[in-house]
Amino acid sequence: MDLLIEFGWLVFGLALLFFGAEWLVKGSSDLALKMGISPLVVGLTVVAFGTSSPELLASLEANMSQPPQGGLALGNVIGSNICNIGLVLGLTALLRPLVVHKQVVRRDMPILLVSSILFIVFLRDGVIARWEGAIFTAGVITYTAVSLFLSKREGKASEELSEEDVKEALEGGAKKVFLSLGLIVVGLLVLIKGADFLVNSGVNIAQTLGVPEAIIGLTMIAFGTSVPELATSVAAVRKGEVDIITGNAIGSCVFNLLAVVGIVALVSPIVSNGVSSVDLSMMIGITLAVMILGIWGSVISRWQGGLLLIGYIGYSSYLALQTVS
């Protein structure tokens, strides 16, 4: 009965994360569009940070718990990146081929690859120290500032938007700004509570079932905190606005590594418990795969999306077998 209650709290935590991220993304996107930032850059920065906020809060909560759940915190980041590329990009490409902008291929994908390699280098001693977290945090601040600056300078906001989207984002004046700020504040508060419920119930379930914390982080928590990215991408496909999907997914992966790992490690060093070379190899491998697909052509086709999805399912099956054994 206790286990069933914990699952109920976990589902409730996921629901809070989903709605909190939706409100945060909506408010942040509207504000960004009012500032004249292009939808692609909004996807790479504002939306990516908003949809990565569940990972940040869940990993913070895990690493600050007593005792610290470092394996869960890192497993959440690694698993979320694998999920963002394998599940989110794979599934949405199956629904509708995805456009890969040159900016994403030339700048954002290489940044993601370098960040992933640096993350693995930092993990060689089994700990992400504060100074390493500081490097990542400085990196995400620089990445965001440069992306927003280049977008403003290029002035491509309105040409990438439909007339209806521009009208909706800009109308309302000060009232619209306050509404957007309100959505951001409420979204953050809901996310904080959702992360609390999610991590506490996830840890309790893991302890009850004897499942290693890293496995919980790589699977259940990672999938749960990636729900906002998945929901945002499916909604974009439904509306025919597929341009920001790759930007959102790749940007979220960059933020997961630089912002989540960076900020969490700055607060308290992260000890790697149970994260294996297989998990890290999968993260690097699927990052390289989507980068090759982006270089190969300007579109991720349905069959390529299917391959990414198969890779994610195969990895998840491997983790399930590890849990059983």
Cα distance between residue 182 and residue 83, in whole Å = 30
- What per-residue confidence (pLDDT) applies to 157? 44
Q: How confident is the model at residue 158 (pLDDT cuts 50, 70, 90)?
A: very low
Cα distance between residue 133 and residue 261, in whole Å = 6
36-40, 49-53, 141-145, 181-185: which range is least confident on average?
A: 36-40
Percentage, residues of the chain above pLDDT 70: 76
Cα distance between residue 55 and residue 139, in whole Å = 18
pLDDT tens, 67-116? Answer: 888 888 898 899 999 999 999 999 999 988 888 888 788 888 999 999 99
Average pLDDT, integer, range 295-301: 85
Q: How many distinct structural domains can be found in the chain?
A: 1
Alpha-helical (H) ranges within 45-123 are 46-64, 70-83, 90-95, 102-103, 109-122
Residue 310 sits in a domain of what CATH number?
1.20.1420.30
Query: For residues 198 and 13, is the Cβ–Cβ distance under 8 A?
Result: yes
- What per-residue confidence (pLDDT) applies to 304? 94
98-107, 163-172, 259-268: which range is least confident on average?
A: 163-172
- What per-residue confidence (pLDDT) applies to 150? 72
Range of the domain at 177: 2-324
pTM score over 0.85 = no
Cα distance between residue 6 and residue 12, in whole Å = 10
Q: How confident is the model at residue 161 (pLDDT cuts 50, 70, 90)?
A: very low
Neighbours of 153 (CB within 10 A): 8
CA 181 remoteness from chain centre: 22
Question: Which three-class secondary structure state does DSSP give residue 69?
Answer: coil
Percentage, residues of the chain above pLDDT 90: 29
